[in-house]
Structure 1
Amino acid sequence: MSDRLILLSNDGAQLNANVEMHERGLILHSRSGTDRNRDYRAALELLLSRLDQAQIVYRVYLDSRPVQGVNLSDRELSFDRMSPVGARFDELVRAMNKGSSSRGAWRRLLIETPGTGPARLREVAEGKSNIIRLPATDLRKVLPSHIHKAVQKLLDGGDAPNFAPSRDYDALTSTGIPLAPKKVFGLALEEALGIEAHPRHFSAGWGQICFELLEEAGLWIVPKKEGIARPKPSHVEITAELADLVPTDEERSWIEGNPKIASHLRRERHPGLAKEKRAQFIAEHGRLFCEDCKLDPVKLYGEEAGSACIEMHHHITHVAKMQAGHRTRMEDLKCLCANCHRVLHRKLALGLTVTF
């Protein structure tokens, strides 16, 4: 994303003012000549007003080239923060010209905003902090054709300037080219609704409409590993690997809803048994995790949903062999994630040796 900001007045007119992001906040470049940054005053007053409304703390420093080597504290410009922005502007001009014969020079300024992140600062400065999330009905107006057009635009070298490069996920095309999911969906949203899309219009992530529609359109959403996208697997290779897989009776009954597997689950989930085991396990280990693969679901999925990934496995007496009235002890149970639990039952059905 460019460091340059596009400032629009409250009535939508673009200002002729050079404002850019800085590691400490914002830079407002000086005005000179008849055309360079002619809306300097309007831009500064607009920025101060928007920072006030967003309750962002800021300091203003002279940042002209001759003083850039001077300590920042020695070039801070004082003004009455309680006065109207018009009066503040006049105070700042007097302060920036102090000790100079000039009284009307409007110089380069650094507006420092400690504690405010760049995304939030850009949003406030450009007047986009009032953008609200679009309802699901609007988001679902994005069709595969809109997404395909957005993909093609990005592949042809176009961009979605309102959206930053992806940090966590990639949307892979059929040829494995990684694209930023929010850029793709943002462009598709503009095409579908005829609006200028912004990040606050929608959320991206698993379970969100954005990812759902991107995948329905044929893109493959993958998490990045150290900034690198996971390669898309070959459909031919997957088909070949599955060709010789024969489902066990247990897997068939799971798919078909056979009462046998339902009975297994009802027995295994005896009221209070799983809850008591989880509590004992946490008391002993300080956290809940899979005893086979060591997955920590709370760390991965959050405290409220993570515990649902851990299931109880009877590793001493298997449920299928239990007699009526069987009593299960806590040490008979193992905490396993859903994947390891399914694989374990698969091994048991195939007569393979199971160890922990």
Structure 2
Amino acid sequence: MILLTDDGTPLNAKLELHELGITFQSRSGTDRNRDYRVALELLLSRLDTGKIAYEIYLDSRPVQGVELAKRRLSFNRQAPISVRFDELVRAMNTGSHSHGAWRKLLIATPGTSPAALLSAIGAAKSIRKFVRLPARELRKVTEFHIDNAVRRLLAGGEAPNFAPSRDYDALTDDGIPLAPKKIFGLALEEALGIEVYPAHFSAGWGEICFELLENAGLWIVPKSGAAARPRPHPSQIQQELNGFTPTDEERSWIEGNPKIVTHLKRERQPGLSKQKLSEFIAEHGRIFCEECRLDPVERYGAEAGAACIEVHHHRTHIAKMQPGHKSKTSDLKCLCANCHRVLHRKLALGLSPFL
């Protein structure tokens, strides 16, 4: 097996499944496993991202008869990946005349199934030549395909050709983070009837993958260090504003993320807020903020207190909201004005909208 980079490029570094995990072949000569360092660092990074516990053992032929515990290599698991690599090289060459040989390793992953391991590290069985699919093919993915992919992943299904996401999460309507490329890859397989790999499409701001995922109601949020949502073009903002008149405060949110317009429109459905508040009081006997638990009547009195609570649309899955869809009160949450505005500000910043 070989490792593929995030864009689907195959690395010259050979892996093999082992009963304890995987073996990572040594580098030698002028062409054998020449991407050893890049591949091992990528492998360690993906194991970290997948939260897979592992131990690393020297597995060169001269030591294969030695007890496994005596072959374990020590390194600082909290150190940056590049530092870990250097520590492993020093450890694997301890006691030898060489100080820079890159040797065969056994990476044991106790408790992790082979399928889960292969999915986490993004390994492929053979080198294939991939070309980017044209936009017309990518746009054959519909909200139906994306919804099916989300359901499959939430049910424990795998996307074996795709590694865990390192830069972005796609949040479901319940705030569950999934890897954007896994979702889109599975959706694309269903739409086109082919086996899909990372090199078939790009993921990121401005790419069709993110566009269609967000159109299907998923919120794309960057992890630490990833690029934030780019500021939208004024024409995009104006297009979203057609038929909608925002307040000054709402306009500032929309200028950061025009997708908020759809969210705000749902919150303004006539009569729905009043119905939600009535049902909430009937169920709980009082009104309060579901986030900070503020009881406005207790603090401000019965006449003025109720004005502090607003209704927020916390269900955002557009795939479930075809034309003519009417939101249900179960799609709504009661929030105080402060919590509601903080949440909308998060949406504008491209952060998780879930409190």
TM-score using structure 2 length:
0.37
TM-score using structure 1 length:
0.37
Query: Which has the higher Rg, Structure 1 or Structure 2?
Result: 1
